[in-house]
Chains A and B, each alone.
Chain A
Amino acid sequence: MARNNTEVAWADPALLILTSLAGGPKHGYAIIQDTEEQAGITLGPGTLYGALARLEERGHIRALPGEDRRRPYELTASGSAVLAQRLKAMRNLASQGLARLRTAQP
């Protein structure tokens, strides 16, 4: 479960993880902290690793050699492409929505 305080959810765990990893390789706990700071959303451990497994299976992220029991993950080329595509779509949606709000507001 991804938890946030807003009534309208806008992000899924896979997108949050890819966005977090765009800033550089991170392990699970660092991804949770980063997502909390950047998006105000707390990813639970089960949600996080479920999404990590799915992203790794699709080749969007890869695991790096671990330190102790923690393993950092990094974006792959396909992960970067998917993230860029998704963020562009979100930017278009955001700009259209904001433009509509501006014209609708008195």
Chain B
Amino acid sequence: MRRFARRVLRWYPPSFRARYGDELDALVDSLSGSARTTADLLWGAVRAWLRPAFPGADGTRRRLLASVSTTWIAWCAGFLVAPAANKALLDPPGAGTGMTVRILLYCGLGLFAVGWLLALAAAILLLVRAVLPVSRSRAWFALKPLLPAVVLGVIEAALMLALLLMSQSNALTRNPTIASIVLTAWLVGLAAFLGCLGIGAAVSLQRLEIKASTLQIPALLAVPLALILATMSACDIAAVILAGDAALFGSIVPVIVVLAVAGTASMVALTSSARGIPAIRHA
């Protein structure tokens, strides 16, 4: 049971483990490894994720880092809602796709573009102020977690090219089984790519040990990015509800999954970016 309790310690947020991990580990050593102890640690881990604390002199910097990282991960998880809803409702347009639905979908796409511009602005700022000034070996160490995303990105681009070539030569209609396998592989790869992009960037940010003053503007940009994600999700959820089942052409399950993920990601992004606002003032 003590071994399991120790494993639970790994489920705490990275910032919590960095500050209290050794102490908690020593405490677990001193206590009986009962089921109650393990359950208490589990509940503690849940609370640490839901209401993280950032004590000490470094607290402001870690709060800003958590807001930027969490909003970025939430954006990576949720931004696909706009293209997914557009694909499901407009390609081809169904019976329920009226003017209101179209306006909502175009609003979603507009917000999608603005959101990416904001994310890009924050990324360029961090690149210029946090990555370029450090030595090459340190930059490599910091950016290494993004390597899986780069590899998966190249594979995804190659698969997409293959799908385009197959669709132009009518190979997809002739071999529906192969088309379905390639499309499924591409979708699974896309999910893996976005996961690696979100988490890899968050780990890289942590490794760079960026100053609080450098994180101030990215944390400020995280607030409108979270609002854009939430508004975009709301537009697309409304569009899908208004369009109804008939307009979805049997793609209702994947659309609901994407909408649920985007809705959850929006709430996470809004909460985390809002919690970073007091730290922006203190940085």
Contacts and interface: CB of A to CB of B under 8 A. Distances in A.
Interface of A: 1, 3, 27-29, 32, 44-50, 52-54, 56-57, 63, 66, 68-71
Given A44-B36, A46-B43, A69-B23, 19 more contacts: A3-B36, A27-B23, A29-B26, A29-B27, A29-B31, A32-B31, A44-B39, A45-B28, A45-B40, A49-B20, A49-B23, A52-B20, A53-B48, A53-B53, A57-B53, A57-B59, A66-B23, A69-B25, A71-B23
Given A45-B28, A69-B23, A50 B47 contact: yes
B19 interface: yes
A1 B216 CA distance: 36
B55 interface: yes
Contacts of B55: 53, 56-57
A44 B23 contact: no
B44 A44 contact: yes
Contacts of A63: 56
Interface string B3-39: 0000000000000100110111111101100001101
A70 B22 CA distance: 8
A45 B19 CA distance: 15
B39 A68 contact: no
Interface of B: 16, 19-20, 22-28, 30-31, 36-37, 39-45, 47-48, 53-56, 59
A47 B28 CA distance: 13
A28 B54 contact: no
A69 B19 CA distance: 11
B46 to A, nearest CB: 9
15 contacts: A1-B39, A1-B43, A28-B26, A29-B27, A32-B31, A44-B37, A44-B39, A45-B28, A46-B47, A48-B27, A53-B19, A53-B55, A54-B53, A69-B26, A70-B26
Q: Which of B27, B37, B43, B56 has the most A CB atoms < 10 Å from its CB?
A: B27
Contacts of B41: 44-46
B53 A56 contact: yes
B54 A57 contact: yes
Contacts of A56: 53, 55-56
B16 to A, nearest CB: 7
Nearest to A42: B36
B30 A49 contact: no
B43 A29 contact: no
B52 to A, nearest CB: 8
B45 to A, nearest CB: 7
A45 B53 contact: no
Contacts of B45: 46
